[in-house]
Amino acid sequence: MTTPFPTSHVPPAPRRAKAGARITLTLASLAMLGPFTIDTVFPAFTRIGAEFGGDEVALQQLVSAYLAAFAVMSIFHGPLSDALGRKKVMIGGLVIYLIGMFGCVLAPSMGTLILLRVLQGMSAGAATIVSRVVIRDMFSGSEAQRLMAQVMMIFSVAPAVAPIFGGWLLLLGDWRWVFAGVGVYALLVLVLTVRLPETLPPEARTPLRVRSLLGSLAHVGRSPVMLRVAAASAFGFASQFLFIAGASIVVVRLLGLGERDFWVLFIPLIIGMLSGAWVVGRVADLMDRSRLITFGFVGTVVTTVVNLVLVSFAPEFTGGLSWGLLLAVIGPMLIAFTVALLFAPIQLEVLDLFPHERGAAASLGTFFGLVLNALLAGLIAPLVTTGLVALGLTSLIFALLGGGFWVWHLRVVRRPVAA
């Protein structure tokens, strides 16, 4: 499946048997940077639009511009970490991210704000993507899956906490307080990252040459196995992320709630993600990774169907807590649970496809999902949030696509080789 590298480029064996609390917290904090960057800003959309005269579509670009830049640069963060080391790339990315975040506090126009979001997107992946590689560098087998699940459990808190945190920051003043608050969080993450060990020693690194970096990406990117697994992961996660990408429209317009009511949607999502990640950690020694991913995809198709049925029969919303509102958030919670079952193990599946080029594999494995997420935030979510039924149907389509790519992958890898 992969072409062996010279002995000097073979990655070292994992050096730890168990993950301590500090390492787990640091890696989870790095992973949470992305959700905090996206979701904390949602409650501030109304005030940003009022100050700069931006409509719903323009405001959604604050998310899609970040995600698009994140996607483009995600291709390079992993290979750079294969050449320079994991720690240097993560720290450099966080420093640039902080410049962009505090620049948002001083932004004089919507255009400037969007450009600064692009800078954040270009740099944030250095921390979030490479931190996944660090997990696989340090651990293997069930412990790697268990740590990935633990990181995801903590990471799962971010989508629920972030908009609530953003709403609280708005009590201090205008929308600029939201960006300042996230900047302080990123500064704390930088301090934690500085204390992390370097997990890729110099003798295991690839040459820092443009041709070498592009060659590594080309080698990984032209693998049919990689393309199938990455597509399965991207579409599977999209069935849940659709609700996050369109949260500003779903909560305010479809559910008739206010700018500090995002918890109504995000707390059920966090319960689902947290529960699913907990199950993944518990079954790490009991269930084959491939079987767990299959179980997650089957469950996601089922829960998206359940969600579609629930919202089809939900009563009209009156703008407050009601029976109809309960039915509208149960489905996303169930979808988040089943997506969590497949998310952590499929990340390890991607990394193990190319053990000598884990950085490049992490980058390209993430790239497909990020491109789809950017399209969800900037184009698809505004189009399908005409109603909860349209939103639910779109989620079901993504679940079917993800499951289809995974079944295709299983059939190919299990096909007997002709004598």
Check residues 137 and 320 and name the one with the higher pLDDT.
Answer: 137
Q: Which residue has the higher pLDDT, 233 or 344?
A: 233
Q: Are 148 and 284 in contact (CB under 8 A)?
A: no
* Block residue for tokens 């997506």: 339
Residue 419 is encoded by which pair of tokens?
A: 């004598």
C-alpha 252, offset from chain centre = 23
Q: What is the 3-state secondary structure (H, E, C) of 333-367?
A: HHHHHHHHHHHHHHHHHHHHHCCCCHHHHHHHHHH
What pLDDT is recorded for position 15?
53
Looking at residue 17, what is its pLDDT? 53
Helices marked H in 5-109: 21-39, 45-52, 56-84, 86-105
Pairwise pLDDT comparison (243 vs 163), residue with the higher score = 243
Better pLDDT: 176 or 153: 176
Pick the residue with more confidence: 252 or 390? 390
- Between 367 and 196, the more confident residue is 196
The confidence score (pLDDT) of residue 186 equals 93
Q: Between 3.20.20.70, 1.20.1250.20, 1.10.10.10, 1.10.1200.10, what CATH number should domain 18-195+208-413 receive?
A: 1.20.1250.20
> How far is Cα 121 from Cα 148, in angstroms, rounded to an integer?
23
pLDDT above 50 (res 14)? yes
The predicted structure's pLDDT at residue 209 = 72
Q: Is residue 417 pLDDT above 70, yes or no? A: no
Instruction: Find the range with the poorest average confidence among 12-26, 232-246, 251-265, 342-356.
Output: 12-26
Residues 6+ apart with CB under 8 A from 365: 226, 229, 230, 233, 347, 350, 351
Q: What is the pLDDT of residue 315?
A: 66
- pLDDT over 70 at 415, yes or no: no
The predicted-structure confidence for 163-221, as pLDDT tens digits, reads as follows 788 888 888 888 999 999 999 999 999 999 999 888 888 887 777 777 766 777 777 77
Calculate mean pLDDT across residues 59-77: 82
- pLDDT confidence band for 419 (50 / 70 / 90): very low
> By the 8 A CB rule, do 182 and 169 touch?
no
* Residues in CB range of 380: below 8 A, 6 or more apart: 242, 245, 394
Q: What is the mean pLDDT of residues 61-86?
A: 83
| Higher pLDDT, residue 311 or 220 | 311
Percent of the chain at pLDDT > 90 equals 27
For 288-304, the pLDDT digits (tens) are 888 999 999 999 999 99
Q: Pick the most confident of 3-17, 120-134, 207-221, 399-413.
A: 399-413
Question: How is residue 261 written in tokens?
Answer: 């009511």
Span 80-103, average pLDDT: 91
Q: What pLDDT is stored for residue 42 in this prediction?
A: 82
Model confidence over 36-61: pLDDT tens digits? 888 888 888 889 988 888 777 778 78
Q: Give the model's pLDDT for residue 361.
A: 77
Residue 4: predicted pLDDT? 40
pLDDT of residue 337: 95
Better-scored residue on pLDDT, 223 or 260: 223
Q: Which amino acid is at 165?
A: F
The DSSP code for 8 is G
Provide the mean pLDDT of the chain: 82
Which segment of 106-120, 123-137, 141-155 scores lowest on mean pLDDT?
141-155
pLDDT of residue 416: 55
Confidence (pLDDT) at 148: 81
